[in-house]
Amino acid sequence: MKYCPNPECPHLIRRAAPAEFLDRAKQCNDCGAPLVSRETLGTADAGRVVAEWNDTQERVRATSHPYRDASQAQDRSAAARRLDIATGIVLLVLSVGLFFGSYALSLASNRGAMVIAVGPFIYGIVRLGRGLASRE
């Protein structure tokens, strides 16, 4: 069996006993600390393992954004921009097609009634404008 040596582990705080793991486990599920054997638990070696792990965690926190990398944020904003532009173009094309289709149908039926889809047209302009404005 392996055990979590971290004195700040949530499992240790909840249960007042270190978390136990099978030998094939590498790190604690609760805190992510590397695991040690029963003989090492509570010794200076376990303290050294936890100290090295804490140093590594602090370096990782200092070099990365807490929620995501900046490159991932840029990729997501670029994807959102492309989606806005594509949605705007599609809605504009569909609105114009619906306009001309209903115009042709009203001419053919002699009723003179014509349906104009203003909502999708305006929403298409908004999405297209938002996508093009965020390119700068």
What tens digit of pLDDT does each residue of 76-98 get? 678 888 888 898 899 888 888 88
Q: Residues 17-26: pLDDT tens digits?
A: 898 998 888 8
The average confidence (pLDDT) of the chain is 80
Average pLDDT over residues 49-67: 69
Tell me if the pTM is above 0.75.
no
How far are the Cα atoms of 65, 83, 84 from residue 130, in angstroms, in the given order?
27, 10, 7
The reported pLDDT for the residue numbered 136 is 61
Residues 6 or more apart whose CB falls under 8 angstroms from that of 20 comprise 1, 2, 3
Phi, psi at residue 28, to the nearest 5°? -70, 135
The reported pLDDT for the residue numbered 110 is 67
Map out the domains of the chain as residue ranges.
2-63, 70-133
Average pLDDT over residues 19-48: 87
How far are the Cα atoms of 12, 45, 46, 82, 99 from residue 2, in angstroms, in the given order?
14, 14, 12, 49, 71
